[in-house]
Structure 1
Amino acid sequence: MTHWFTTTIVETGRLPLFFLMIGFAASFLFIRISTRMIRAEVSWWPGNVTPGGLHIHHVVFGLVMMLVSGFGFIALANEHTPVANCVLAALFGIGSALVLDEFALVLHLEDVYWSQQGRTSIDAVFVAFAITVLFVLGVHPLGLTDGDIDTDGGVMVAASVSLLALQYGLAVITLLKGKVWTGLLGLFVPILIIVGAIRVARPVSPWARWHYADRPKKQHRAVLREKKYRAPISRAKIRTQEFIAGRFDTDSSS
């Protein structure tokens, strides 16, 4: 295990990414434990930060941490500071988790932390963590690694650029069809976006609204697939979300 960590993470220069991942995961788990303890009104657990009666959401602390770490990275960009890079990366991961944990609040501009809309935050955290893990393991989207674009000759450059345009075009179509996980992870595993772009869209997606309004058979197929395949997956996802993050209901207090 030590040899794998050294050769895969340290020697490849991905140690700051590893610290970002650890900071992100630890911060998210801690803040979820904290908010669940506050919600349960555990007497010995520190409550919300409310100076003068103003509830300061943890997204504020996350934004500050991201700004500080981002400034630090820029200030040290021309210096060889491996230790500082790891510290700043961990700080950025902590801040990112705090921000994404309240992504739904930022999106809706209201406190929906424990409401049904609050699940959007957990989706954002899961997607961000999954992408971070892939980067830590050295898996990058096409176009973000050396050698993706062949610079030997105009024909090869055109072919490489066309391939990238095709991949990202398929990713956009997949996302418009309401398949967020497939679209994002498909940037790392191209077969996913090929399948996602070809298959029928989810019935409430932008693609379905634009293209299925006058095609009732297509819309009916989308609804049937949603009930048969997507609904069980969604229920399993919700159970996983609530196991980690707590039960969501109509109570928006935090």
Structure 2
Amino acid sequence: MGQWLYRNIVEPGKLPLLLALASFVLTFVITRVVVRLIRAGKGPFGNVKAGGLHIHHVVPGVVLTVIGGFGAVGSGRYGFGAALSAVLFGIGVGLVLDEFALILHLDDVYWTEAGRRSVEVVVVTAALVGLVLGGFSPFGVNDLSDQELQDRGTVILTVAANFLLALLALSKGKALTAVFGVIVPFLALIGAIRLARPGSPWAKRFYRRRPRARARSSLRAYRHDRRWAGPSRRFQDWIGGKPDDELARSLPQRR
């Protein structure tokens, strides 16, 4: 294990990335545990306030991200400074992305359906960083041989082709497939050749006068969502907590 860690992480200079990923995931997990305890009224924790103003944890997250980011730029890839900057950056990103939905909506939607976006972004971010840490380079350039790497034209064509496939998958409403397709070219190819989701830019442009294609697209999306929506929601609830019931949120609070 020690030899593998040195050859694959330390020697290539990936230790700061590993520390950033570990601190990012750990911060998110601890943060979610704390806020769920606050929500349940358990434990010694409580909301942070200053002069009656609720200070969301995205605020210290931004501060730590800035400190860690500039520290990483100034310290290089090796040494204690790089490791400390990576940890601070990972903690800051964990705090920021845990409230990604709040930033997106400019509203406190933490315990609403919209708040699920934070969990989705955190999972995708952790997965992508994990893939990079495991040796995958963007656009699959790592799969090229030494001879191919010397041929800049081949590299450029490979990058451009996979980028176009990822954009095509994104235009078909397959955001996650497009994101992961940047790292794994096969996924981008699958997302590019399959039917577009209803309401996507591709469907609006090319399925407008093709009723059979629209029907097939809607049927496939319905079957996909019916199969995966339940497990996906349970997984998100397990990680981030179940959102408040919309009806309960709309009722006036008793005093």
Q: Same fold (TM over 0.5)?
A: yes
Correspondence for 2:27 = 27
Following superposition, the deviation at residue 150 of structure 1 comes to 5.7
Contact map agreement 1:38 1:46 (CA 8 A) in 2: yes
Partners in 2 of 1:49 and 1:204 — Cα distance? 41
* Contact 1:17–1:135 under 8 Å retained in 2: no
Is 1:142 the equivalent of 2:139?
Answer: yes
Superposed displacement of residue 10, structure 1 = 1.6
> Could you say if the C-alpha distance between residues 29 and 141 of structure 1 is closer, same or farther in structure 2, counting changes exceeding 3 Å?
same
Range moving further from structure 2, 140-149 or 27-36: 140-149
Question: Aligned residues: percent identity?
Answer: 41
Give distance in 2, aligned partners of 1:229 and 1:159.
Answer: 37
- Once residues 110 and 104 of structure 1 are traced to their aligned partners in structure 2, the CA distance between those partners, rounded to angstroms, is 8
Q: Report the alpha carbon displacement of residue 144 of structure 1 after superposing the two structures with TM.
A: 6.6
- TM superposition shift of 1:110: 0.9
Matched, 1:129 2:126: yes
Matches within 5 A, 1:96-107: 96-107=93-104
CA distances 1:70-115 after superposition (whole Å, capped 9, x unpaired): 12123324xx752211111111111111111111111111111111
Whether 1:189 aligns to 2:184 is yes
Which residue identity is paired with 2:56?
Answer: H
* Residue 92 (structure 1) aligned with residue 89 (structure 2): yes
Would the aligned equivalents of 1:178 and 1:206 in 2 still touch at CA under 8 Å? yes
Q: Structure 2: 5+ residue runs without aligned partners?
A: 251-255
TM-score by length of 1: 0.89
Instruction: In structure 1, give the amino acid aligned to 2:96.
Output: V
135-144 or 19-28, which deviates more: 135-144
Aligned-residue offset at 1:27: 0.4
Distance 2:3 2:148 in 1: 33
Q: Deviations over 1:140-175 (max 9, x none)?
A: 1127769799686xxx43443232211101101111
Picking from 226, 231, 234, the partner of 1:231 is 226
Task: Specify the alignment match of 1:65 in structure 2.
Answer: 64
Q: Residues 151 and 133 from structure 1, CA distance in 2 versus in 1: closer, same or farther, beyond 3 angstroms?
A: closer
Residue 35 of structure 1: CA displacement? 1.1
The equivalent residue for 1:222 is 217
What is the alpha-carbon distance in structure 2 between the residues aligned to residue 116 and residue 140 of structure 1? 34
Q: Once the two structures are superposed, what CA deviation does each residue of 1:199-229 show, in whole Å capped at 9, x if it has no partner? A: 0011132322333233222121111111222
Summarize the Cα distance change of 1:202–1:31 in structure 2 as closer, same or farther, 3 Å threshold.
Answer: same
Return the alpha-carbon distance in structure 2 between the equivalents of residues 245 and 157 of structure 1.
44
Matched residues in 2 for 1:167 and 1:184: separation?
Answer: 11
Mapped to 1, the partners of 2:134 and 2:152 lie a distance apart of 28
TM-score computed with the length of structure 2 as normaliser: 0.88
Name the structure, 1 or 2, with higher relative contact order (CA <8 Å, separation 6+): 1
Q: Which residue number corresponds to residue 174 of structure 1?
A: 169
Number of the residue aligned with 2:253: none
SS at match of 2:139: coil
DSSP 3-state at the match of 2:51: helix
Runs of 4 or more consecutive aligned structure 1 residues displaced over 6 Å after TM superposition: 146-149
Q: Are 1:200 and 1:222, in contact at CA under 8 Å, matched by a contact in 2? A: yes
Closer, same or farther in 2 for the Cα pair 1:35/1:209, shift >3 Å?
farther
Q: Which has the higher helix share?
A: 2
- Aligned pairs, number: 246
For 1:151 and 1:14, the matched residues in 2 are separated by 21
Task: Give the Cα–Cα distance (whole angstroms) in 2 for the partners of residues 235 and 146 of structure 1.
Answer: 36
In structure 1, stretches of 5+ residues that fail to align are: none
Change (3 A) 1:118 1:61: same
